[in-house]
Structure 1
Amino acid sequence: MLNMTDRDATLDRFADAFIETTDSYRIARGDDVIHAPMPDGEVVARATEFLVTTLFDVLRDTRLEAMADRIAWGIVHSFHKVAGQIEGEADKAAMAVRRLIEQNDGSEIGSVELEEAQMLCQSLDETQDALACMRDYAAATYHAEAGRPWSAPRASLVSSKRTASVVAATDYLAARRKRHIDARAPKGPVVIFSGGQVWEDHRLLYAALDSIKVRVPTMVLATTGQDKGCDAIAAAWAARNACHLIPFSLDRKLGNRAGFARNEQLLRLRPVEAVVCQGSGLQSHLAREVRRLGIPAHFFALADQHHNRAIR
């Protein structure tokens, strides 16, 4: 179960995510417009937690206990998948709004069409925010139960025929783009993190990251973006501590150089600190470069697990 501090922070996030951003709501063309309110954030938070915890509770001490982990993982993944689908639809809707802004001739028909397209885009963004909030809380609940983490608009128009709907749509797209940029390029001192895909002791890594955050409270965590092992633990820590996370994925087009190129990307961020855990040759390469550049670092070997040891 989550402690009271985590729960209070979660309820604050749900309160922010579950607010109406538009009077009318529609997430598919041709659907009827809905004027109903968003569900109560606190109620949704409790329901999300209940979905995950109930599975562990009813299967505990039975021969199906081992299945709780798998099923609960799937629940979190479902939230993740649907949130991703809605985000993609929102991006397409935003492109449609941009196209209509360019084509807008000031006519009533054009203005109405633009307003409807903006409502669709805004509704999808609102939905994605809510689903992502549910996913993050489901993932945190899974972690608490399982003991391991779940792994630009164009320039403004100057035509004298520009209408209020064009102004509103342009402003909305600008705000939407800024939010996406802020999420993808957060500002703050960068801490880089990398490790292998096989790792059990999340407490060791949590303690290291906790100690860094005390010294660097506005830190941004940049990882090598793997979906299991050390990077998954770091991602779970970031979600738990409301820390901006930048996962760097491999550029497969670079072939065998992809991993080393990713290491170079991380180092170009001018990190203020690093955490490198034993993994493959890529982690060894990153550790050597971190030492060469004199970046303050924590190095963990597989043998350090459950012993709270680190080579600095």
Structure 2
Amino acid sequence: MTNSFSNFADLASHIATETGTDERSSLYADAFLEHDERAKLSPVDESEQLEMPDPDQARAAVEMVMATLFDVFRDTRLEPFAGDLAWGFVNSFHVVAKRINDREDDAAKELGDLARSFDPSEIYASQIEEAQMLCQTLQGCRDAMECMRDHAAEVYRVETGRPYAPTRGSRVSKGVTASMIEARDFLAARGRERREQFSPEGPIVAFSGGQQWEDHDLLWKGLDSIKARIPEMVLATTAQAKGCDAIAQAWAAARGVKVIMFRLDRRLGAKAAFVRNDRLLALKPVEAVVCEGSGIQMNLAQKLRQAGVPLHVVKLAHQTVRPTPQRMAARVRQGR
């Protein structure tokens, strides 16, 4: 029997029913939780009764949009562009979540200022209540937006084999997905409400490698071996967009491992990569993997050895799959 639907919400509800409940459903239920019957979305608006969207419908909607995008383009001349469009969809959730987070920070600052200037009057009590409601509402909206972003990012990873990473800034969440954290955010996180998200606790495993690498399985097996010994590991990489670092970040996304990304600080000029190595070393990693690449990797390996960090050096010759000029040219044409 063919079902017909008069609107998108009914279709999403049908998909939610058909797909049932799982761990993802539980994450949505937690993220879309209503802490109060009332909501306040800005300092100037009055509070009002507003419900959160149905979590199962929201989950189904994200699943449907992402899956349909890839399915429609699959085996067509537009297939190479599906990943770019899907990245934009995931990134739209990330950008909006960031904007909500900024508003939440402003509201929290205002609430803190009020709390420090206590006044026993009813007006003051009302102001405190309104400020608390604003913070709580924005926090709930951010949680929901991040939940949908993480879900879309997981579909993106499964379809493309690459983890979603924003072009700038960190990606953190309360869910089971791996966070990708900018080193600057990691180092600057001090005493904030979300410190644990921006400053994850756990033994650091440093990773760096060259931009030309073919044997994904070799690196995944090595990282799996380390994670088996250090289950709570946090991966710190030199954050290159392709090659070994990209493979390691894809592994982390698949395994739910948090990543701290040390990007180059271009303002430092020619010494930027060496300063990055020093900053990575300053985290006091408990273990490290350095894949053969350039003099930058050689410099990092030397510093790790001098610091007494257990080091795994993976050479190009260790690969089972060897890069060829033809394969490298094909990867360039495909934008991989």
> Normalised by the shorter chain, which TM-score bucket?
0.7 to 0.9
Please name the residue that 1:26 is paired with: 40
Determine the structure 1 residue equivalent to 2:80: 66
Q: Does the Cα contact within 8 Å between 1:150 and 1:232 map onto a contact in 2?
A: no
The offset of 1:305, in angstroms, is 5.5
Residue 102, structure 1, aligned to residue 116, structure 2: yes
Amino acid at match of 1:77: N
Structure 2 match to 1:287: 301
Secondary structure of the corresponding residue to residue 186 of structure 1: coil
**1:84-233 to 2 correspondences below 5 Å:** 84-151=98-165, 179-196=193-210, 202-226=216-240, 229-233=243-247
Percent identity at matched positions? 50
Distance 1:92 1:66 in 2: 41
Counterpart AA for 1:297: L
In the comparison of the two structures, how many residue pairs are matched? 278
TM-score by length of 1: 0.76
Deviations 1:14-37 (A, max 9, x none): 333222234422222333534333
Mean CA deviation greater in 35-44 or 46-55: 35-44
CA distance in structure 1 between the aligned counterparts of 2:297 and 2:38, rounded to whole angstroms: 50
Q: CA deviation at 1:79?
A: 1.4
Give me the whole-angstrom Cα distance separating, in 2, the residues matched to 1:77 and 1:306: 35
Q: Deviations over 1:109-162 (max 9, x none)?
A: 1221122122112222222222122212211111211233324xxxxxxxxxxx
- Contact kept, 8 Å, 1:136 with 1:239, in 2: the verdict is no
Which shifted more, 287-296 or 76-85? 287-296
Residue 94 of structure 2 aligns with an amino acid whose one-letter code is H
Identify unmatched segments of 5+ residues in structure 2. 1-20, 166-190, 323-336
Change in CA separation of 1:66 and 1:242 when aligned onto 2, cut-off 3 Å: closer
Which runs of 4 or more aligned residues in structure 1 lie more than 6 Å from their structure 2 counterparts after TM superposition? none
Aligned counterparts of 1:303 and 1:33: Cα–Cα separation in 2: 64
Return closer, same or farther for 1:290/1:86 CA change in 2, 3 Å cut-off: same
Q: Is the CA contact 2:205–2:236 (under 8 Å) kept in the aligned structure 1?
A: yes
- Superposition deviation, residue 278 in structure 1: 4.0
1:194: how far off? 2.5
Matches within 5 A, 1:39-78: 39-78=53-92
- Structure-1 separation of matches of 2:76 and 2:208: 38
- RMSD over equivalenced CA pairs, Å: 2.9
Match of 1:83 among 91, 97, 110: 97
- Alpha-carbon separation, structure 1, partners of 2:242 and 2:29: 30
